[in-house]
Amino acid sequence: MIEHLPAALTLSASFTVLLALIVGTIAGIIVGALPGLGTVLGLVMALPFTYALDGPTAVALLLALYVSSIYGGSISAILINVPGTPQSAATVFDGYPMAQRGEGALALGWATTASFIGGIFSLVVLILIAPQLAKVALEFGPIETFALVLFALTTIAWVSSGEMLKGLLSACIGLFLAFIGPDDMTGQVRFDFDILFLSGGLAVIPLLIGLFAISEVIYQAATLTDAEMPSVKSGGFKFPSWAAWRPRIVTLLRSCGIGSFIGVLPGTGATAAVFVAYADAKRRSDTPENFGKGEPDGLIASEASNNAVSGGAMVPMLALGIPGDGGTVVMMGALTIHNVIPGVRLFQNQPDVVLSIFLLLLAANIFMLIFGAMGANVFSRLLRIPITLLMPLVLMMSLVGAYAVRSNPVDLVVALGAGLVAFVLRLNSFPLAPIIIGFILGGALEMSLRQGLVMTDQSFLRFFESPIALFLFAITALIVANLILGDRLLRFLPGFSARERK
Amino acid sequence: MRRLLKRGFVAAAILGLGAGAALADYPEKTIEVVVPYAAGGGTDTGARLLLPELEKVLGQSMIIKNIPGAGGTVGATQFSRMKGDGYSLGFLPVGTTTTQPHLRKLTYDDNSFEPVCLTIQDPMAVAIDPGSPIQSIDELIAKAKDQTLSAGGPPPGSLPHIAQAAVANAYGVQFKYVPHEGGPAASKSILGGKLDILVDPIGSAINYGLRPLVLLDGKRHASVPDLPTIDEAGGPPLRYSIWFGLFAPAGTPAEIVKQLSDACKAATTTDAYVQAVANAKRTPRFLPHDEFKTFFKQQYQANAELMSVIGLKK
């Protein structure tokens, strides 16, 4: 492939490409940071502009937007507890507590570098083994997806340590919420109580906004007194030191790997990858009790894995012509318009185009790092706004974001309702993350189970005929058994112990 | 944000190309177009192909409002309640307007909308895994008589579901139907060997990397001139397509509908539009408001009967 480098450089090295990268990166960070806009909408908005551009410039614009919008979500997650995109759902757990401690600048530094490395890691994976990985993705039919989602559900245990029963109850709330709306297996609508706006089901962003942002606003209003107005120490942006990085390299690389791999599998989605990586980091940590209280490892896991999904999701899109998520659907449409037809033949017939896409993706990640560092500097000054002014602003932005997702008034009710319920749950020390995990995985869990049952003529036993599914079921069973037996089973296997080891 | 960018783009387009001729009074302000599916899907891209051209003809900006949910019925219901003043329009597909009202209790029917113009009608094709040894529809049917083949696609009641049932019916076989989230997910299952057949619009089937066997239409498709029609393949004369059109809420003044229909005709004949539609492997078909209305009413009736035949009618 390397012999095509000169041709690829000729394709992608031009002033307009540079300009497109800059515009795309800035626009991406903004749509990512503003709740309710997000990756797909950003790409769709940019699409009409690309009609007038030449191929490489159009691709540069879209790639820069795609990559940096995933990162942008972390800014609002860290600074104001509002995940700008669903991919940043786990970033709030440790990013926001860090910001509250006055370490917002450092948190942005961790998030930006982790995002950058996640993006680069997945790009390397994409370059080296895209065609082989694409074949693995195809092996994941409904039965294998069901096994994977079931495995992903065990992450609930890791985000609700100490409060296991409450965590499981929270997860049940999330699972139930996922069942509202259309049933894709029959085309019928469930639990809508004949309310039109409920017939489309609930959307994840309003729920996220309610659970994290609005409950935080209520919590602050309920607990704040003049005496304890938090004084914000620093705005700005700070790269973490190498000494701080070194013990976290393993966590970083594992999260990159998890993100890239789950990104390759269509149907599970970036948000699932983030929670699996977060749980993995916590499971392997020497200080799991710090997770959720501003532990950089948690932040790294979340941000490295969600940006690693970007390269992973490109694998089936470029190598097979199958888009894995909403972002790649739009991207594939744009590529097709510019006569780049993704699929098996792309790698054989247009290696220079493939290579130039890789180069642009590399450039997009570098621009994300530069503009992220500069932009974070601007954004983090938000923290200097007194909390009594900031919180009403957060509330307003949250509601606008919740409504903007799909112009459905029920989303305002959902966001406010979720905020109130989450406030009550927080006071009773119920973990909130399992609600989101249950909600996000609930749909895929049910759908893949029922699809699998149709395929096997309603025989669940035949699920075990799939070696991939069998393997995943076995790990899931081990983890659950270990939890029930109070950590006696896997104590000697590093990485599986749920209990704090110190 | 979205609105702002859109406006900026529109302003740039108008300045660049010289504003369209000013028509009497209407339209005096921005027109909102409801798309009852999420951005990036087949309905949304259909609208996004049309609107830039329509804007130039009308000399007024148009913004898309995506209201997704429940097979387009959430957006269509909201749209049906909007004021019929020409400033609220909808870009709706066949399923939302002519099959969903027969499947579930909804507050709209064929009288809630005033058809303005039909713009796209994509014929559907029977598609399979490109690696499969099967080369024709007859070979596929022969295999289906031997063993149970499974078909995938969106939830029951959707057109891909209806069309695969119709194909099986006409040939006297039956496919096992495995519902998926949509065409892309079903295609992945097919390429992975977990599923055999998808009946979907021809352009989508090709974009998903599948190999079409036969086109469910009377004439061949411009983007795949080698693909035989079902008639040429010696099959029953099945005609299945997914169409999209511009609608106004019922009660919109006849002169505005007429003006919009004429503008639509001008917009769909520009070179830019024709080229963009061809690039997207979509199928242009224009019908002015009177012909579209007749067509729409026929489709509404025909699909009501179809739904009771396949046992899905509410």
DSSP conformation letters of A314-334: HHHHHHHS---SHHHHHHHHH
Q: For residue B224, tell me if it sits in a domain.
A: no
Dist CA A238 CA A105 (whole Å):
5
Inter-chain residue contact B74 with A196, CB threshold 8 Å: yes
Q: What is the pLDDT of residue A497?
A: 46
Whether B239 and chain A come into contact, CB under 8 Å, resolves to: no
Residues B135 and B205 in one domain: yes
Q: Pick B192's closest partner by Cβ from A138, A201, A408.
A: A138
Q: Is the ipTM of this complex over 0.85?
A: no
Span of A16-20, A272-276, A403-407, A438-442 with lowest mean pLDDT: A403-407
Considering only residues 3 to 42 of chain B, which have any Cβ-Cβ distance to chain A shorter than 8 Å? Answer: 5-6, 9, 38-41
The answer to whether B107 and B274 have CB atoms below 8 angstroms apart is no
Same domain, yes or no: B184 and B134: yes
Residues in CB range of B309: below 8 A, 6 or more apart: none
- Predicted pLDDT of residue B21: 39
Q: Does A361 reach chain B within 8 Å, measured CB to CB?
A: no
pLDDT at A366: 93
Query: In this structure, is residue A103 part of a structural domain?
Result: yes
Task: Tell if the CB–CB gap between A266 and B65 is shorter than 8 Å.
Answer: no
The pLDDT value recorded for residue A115 is: 92
For the residues B43-64, what does the mean pLDDT come to?
A: 88
CA A89/CA A115 separation, integer angstroms: 14
Q: Is A395 on the interface with B (CB under 8 A)?
A: no
A330 reaches B (C-beta below 8 A): yes
Quick one: pLDDT at residue A235? 59
**Structural domain contains residue B231:** no
Burial B29-38 (b: 16+ CB within 10 A, else e): eebebbbbbb
d(CA A439, CA A193): 20
Question: What DSSP assignment string belongs to A61-112?
Answer: HHHHHHHHHHHHHHHHHHHHS--SSGGGTTHHHHHHHHIIIIIHHHHHHHHH
Q: Read out DSSP for B58-124?
A: HTS-EEEEE---GGGHHHHHHHHTS--SSSEEEEEEHIIIIIHHHHS--S--TTSEEEEEEEEEEEE
Nearest to A184 among B155, B184, B193 (CB): B155
Structural domain contains residue A14:
yes
Same domain for B260 and B209, yes or no, is no
Q: Are residues B195 and B61 in the same domain?
A: no
Q: Does residue B94 sit in the same domain as residue B146? A: no
pLDDT at A373 over 90: no
Which chain A residue lies closest to B152 (C-alpha atoms)? A451
Decide if A4 contacts A355 (C-beta within 8 A).
Answer: yes
B135 within domain boundaries = yes
Q: How far is B221 from chain A (nearest CA, A)?
A: 18
Note whether A139 contacts B: Cβ–Cβ < 8 A: yes
Angle CA A29–A30–A32, to nearest 5:
65
Q: How far apart are CA B192 and CA B202, in angstroms?
A: 20
The total number of structural domains that make up chain A = 1
What's the average model confidence in pLDDT over A439-455? 89
Q: Does A225 touch chain B (CB under 8 A)?
A: no
Domain span holding position A35: 2-488
- Give pLDDT, residue B6: 54
Instruction: Answer yes or no: is A168 within a domain.
Output: yes
Task: Give residue B14's pLDDT.
Answer: 47
Which chain B residues have a beta carbon less than 8 Å from that of A200?
Answer: 68-70, 74
Look at phi and psi of residue A419 and say left if phi exceeds 0, alpha if psi is from -120 to 50, else beta: alpha
In angstroms, what separates the C-alpha of B275 from chain A's closest C-alpha? 10
Query: Worst-scoring range by mean pLDDT, B99-103, B135-139, B256-260?
Result: B99-103
- B107 shares contact with chain A (CB less than 8 Å): yes
Q: Do B113 and B248 lie in a common domain? A: yes
Q: Mean pLDDT, to the nearest integer, of A126-137? A: 79
Contacts of A137 in chain B (CB under 8 A): 188, 192
* Interface mutation target, options B55, B99, B188, B189, chain A, most CBs of A under 10 Å: B188
Q: Does B185 touch chain A (CB under 8 A)?
A: yes
Looking at the fold, whether B165 and B207 belong to one and the same domain comes out as yes
In a domain, B230, yes or no: no
Torsion of CA B151, B153, B156, B158, to 10 degrees: -130
Mean pLDDT of chain A: 82
The pLDDT tens digits of the residues spanning A156-211 come to 777 776 778 888 999 999 999 999 988 888 877 888 888 877 887 888 778 888 88
Instruction: Note the pLDDT of residue A339.
Output: 73
Task: Report yes or no on whether pTM surpasses 0.80.
Answer: no
Give every CB contact of residue B22 below 8 A, 6+ residues apart in sequence.
B59
Q: What is the dihedral of CA B107, B111, B116, B117, to 10 degrees?
A: 90
Residues of chain A contacting B90 with CB distance shorter than 8 Å: none
Question: Is residue A296, in this structure, part of any structural domain at all?
Answer: yes
Residues B259 and B207 in one domain: no
State whether B118 and B134 are in the same domain. Answer: no
Determine phi and psi for A492, rounding to 5 degrees.
-90, -5
pLDDT value, residue A117 = 93
Q: Please report the pLDDT score of residue B17 as a whole number.
A: 43
Considering the domain boundaries, does residue A83 fall inside one?
yes
A31 has a chain B CB within 8 A of its CB: yes
Residue A497 lies in a domain: no
- Predicted local confidence at residue A483, as pLDDT: 77
Q: Is the pLDDT of residue A392 over 70?
A: yes
Higher pLDDT, A163 or B311: A163
Q: Is A266 in CB contact (< 8 Å) with chain B?
A: yes
pLDDT for A247 equals 86
The answer as to whether B6 is a domain residue is no
Q: Looking at beta carbons, which residues of chain B come within 8 Å of A343?
A: 209
- Rounded mean pLDDT, A464-479: 90
| Tokens encoding A216 | 């935080």
Q: Above 80 in pLDDT, residue A5?
A: no
Q: Does residue B168 share a domain with residue B83?
A: no
Residue numbers of the domain that contains B107: 29-122+241-309
Q: Within this chain, do residues B139 and B66 fall inside the same structural domain, yes or no?
A: no
Same domain, B146 and B199: yes
The tokens for A320 are: 């097979």
How many domains does chain B fold into? 2
CATH number of the CATH domain containing B289 = 3.40.190.150
Q: Is A322 on the interface with B (CB under 8 A)?
A: yes
How far is the C-alpha of A447 from the C-alpha of B154, rounded, in Å? 12
Does any domain span residue B275? Answer: yes
Residue A466 located in a structural domain: yes
> CB of A331 within 8 A of CB of A44?
no
Residue A298 lies in a domain: yes
**pLDDT score, position A111:** 92
Segment A379-398 shows an average pLDDT of 75
